[in-house]
Amino acid sequence: MLAPAKAVEKMPKKMIISHVSHPAIEPYNQLILSAYQRLGFTVEFIPVPAKRGLVLLNKGVVDADTLRIEESVTEYPNIILIQPAVKQLKMVLICNSGIPCSNAVFSDEFSSILTTRGISLSLPKTIQADIVFNENLNTILELLRSKRYQYAIYAVDDELLTQLSAEFHTSNMTTPKFHHVINKSHQALIPEISASLSHVLNIHYLKKKQSSSLTNTNINQSAESSLPALPEEK
């Protein structure tokens, strides 16, 4: 009697995921990584310029991208947004110190403002300033620091906004939602990815809320312990 053939071992599923070069992207990569690991995928992250990342995803060269604004993917037929949104970030105008920093700069045709093509799609069509595209978000900050440009439009979370505000002037613009996006060749996985991402986000924000509550409790306790003792009643 012939021995049964050895079962062929399935290779682990792998997703190649692009992401923009942004100083605050790593925590969001970790959230996306957790969502796919729950589904049995291995993940390889690839940093890419903002515009090129969309082109590669639309062509299927990569499987997904960590975070994108909805408006930035509408012209790409092979890119699908995953619900829920991963984060609602702030879109801010960043200005070098010593110059006015407000949305009035958008009406100045002699001003040049750095941003990416993706971000520009969410901007008002009435902007008269010269919009200069640079697809590397880290480079945008370096160009501001070198004073080669005075203005930029940037997507930030609260932590990064605090850091940038110590170095630049900032002016809040809008608060768009950012979504994980995939190539439509994986559309059969949408329910699984969406459910897994929802689970990971719920745990993440619950932990943040608990951490914030604990921090506030410690601050209150510390403040109470530093108060002078009340005189005893006689």
What is the structure's pLDDT at 213?
53
Per-residue b/e over 141-173, b at no fewer than 16 CB within 10 Å? bebbeeeebbbbbbbbeeebbeebeeebbbbeb
Across the chain, which has 234 residues, the per-10-residue mean pLDDT values are 40 86 92 97 95 96 96 94 94 94 94 92 88 91 96 93 95 94 97 97 84 52 48 44
According to DSSP, the residues that pair with 94 across neighbouring strands are 152, 170
pTM, to two decimals:
0.78
Domains located in the chain, CATH noted: 13-87+178-205 (3.40.190.10), 90-175 (3.40.190.10)
Report the b/e string of 113-124 with b at 16+ CB within 10 A. Answer: bbbbebbbebbe
